[in-house]
Amino acid sequence: MLSGNRQASPPVWMMRQAGRYLPEYREVRARAGGFLNLCFTPELAAEVTLQPIRRFGFDAAILFSDILVVPHALGRSVRFEAGEGPRLDPIETVAAIDALPTQADAAIFAPVYETLRRVKQELDPAVTLLGFCGAPWTVATYMIAGQGTPDQAPARLFAYREPNAFQKLIDILIDASIGYLSAQLEAGADAVQLFDTWAGTLPPEQFSRWSVEPAQRIVSGIRARIPDARIIGFPRGAGALLPDFVERTGIDAVSIDWASEPGLMRERVQSRVALQGNLDPLALIAGGDALDRAVDGVLSNYADGRLIFNLGHGIQPETPIAHVERMVQRVRDYRG
């Protein structure tokens, strides 16, 4: 799948495709007893990972998990309360970073690897199995703020004030990510995706230090252990900084958000690596002509090159299933 497709219709899957818009997901979620329980119970996590493949025949299955399992494995309290985003105990001092363990607790991750083994066994070999983790910058923003905030300003401010301590946090997250993603690949993932959801909030110098360099070190670290590892980046909102990200990290593919400028993306990104994206998730909620135009827009912008059709961000809970079916059909019917 990671080579994209220049001939017939491009491969297609959706970020957060195992999610609340699916009744079969909501049923499993209700009996899992808490979001982290769902992530850490291989039988249930494997089931929800496979649900969207059965329903829509997507070309990729993505591990059901969350980017905040890494802080959880570093001993931080992580809570998912109903109707709110995640909550962590915020890191407000240099001392709190100094008190972090340098290694994640491997036992926490064991059920994730078991989930991947189970999914791999049940999955049609033609379907790509993806693992993932949050990129260090994005994970750090939640660890510092204790939650999602507009522009994740608390972490950006902390990094300006205490760059050495912040670098120490990033270094811990880089090491944890290398171990975690490598083990996901060894457990059966065909590729892994690094989600840097908050990369677009960084000025160029900080983007280089907190998004590009960590991604480069993670790619190198994984490939030192697994030379042919395939890795997808997603520095969301990177815009014109994306070509530099691709060049310096040596990543195999990148996701792009829905606001990307097509000319730059084709000439300076898709010319080097496969592109994944970038339908506006709100067009998928709207459906009808707006959806058809948006799907056609992605295809006309990018399907001449290596494209993995996807959304520009995760699917939202209120999305009608019929709109997903319409999108998949329209992508499958595409003939260049």
DSSP string computed for 97-149: HHTS-SS--HHHHHHHHHHHHHHHHHS-TTSEEEEEEE-HHHHHHHHHHSS--
Q: Is 236 a binder of a copy of itself (CB under 8 A)?
A: no
**List 113, 142, 180, 302, catalytic entry:** 142
SS3 at position 190: coil
User: Is 304 known to be catalytic?
Assistant: no
Q: How far are the Cα atoms of 123, 235, 311 from residue 324, in angstroms, in the given order?
A: 21, 25, 11
User: Is 16 known to be catalytic?
Assistant: yes
Distance separating alpha carbons of residues 260 and 311, to the nearest angstrom: 12
Q: Which of 290, 292, 314, 332 binds a copy of itself (CB under 8 A)?
A: 290
Q: Which stretch binds a copy of itself (CB under 8 A): 38-46, 166-174, 228-236, 289-297?
A: 289-297
SS3 at position 187: coil
Q: Is 19 a binder of a copy of itself (CB under 8 A)?
A: no
Q: What angle do CA 55, 56, 57 make, to 5 degrees?
A: 105
**List 55, 66, 175, 292, catalytic entry:** 66
User: Is 20 known to be catalytic?
Assistant: yes
Q: Which of 43, 89, 261, 304 binds a copy of itself (CB under 8 A)?
A: 261
Q: Is 156 a binder of a copy of itself (CB under 8 A)?
A: yes
Distance separating alpha carbons of residues 308 and 274, to the nearest angstrom: 7
Number of residues that bind a copy of itself (CB under 8 A): 36
CA-closest candidate to residue 181, choices 216, 226, 124, 128:
226
Look at the chain and count its residues: 336
Q: Which of 264, 272, 314, 326 binds a copy of itself (CB under 8 A)?
A: 264
The residue behind tokens 């490939």 is 223
Structural contact between residues 155 and 145, judged by C-beta atoms closer than 8 angstroms: yes
Q: Residue 23 or 203: which CB sits closer to a copy of itself?
A: 203
Q: Is 259 a binder of a copy of itself (CB under 8 A)?
A: yes
User: Is 29 known to be catalytic?
Assistant: yes
For the record, the structure tokens of 260 come out as 């990307």
Q: Is 202 a binder of a copy of itself (CB under 8 A)?
A: yes
Q: Which of 19, 52, 146, 200 binds a copy of itself (CB under 8 A)?
A: 200
Q: Active-site residue numbers?
A: 16, 20, 29, 66, 142
Judged by the rule CB under 8 A, the positions of this chain that interact with a copy of itself are 150, 153, 156-157, 160-161, 163, 200-205, 207, 237, 239-241, 258-264, 280, 282-283, 285-286, 288, 290, 293-294, 297, 312
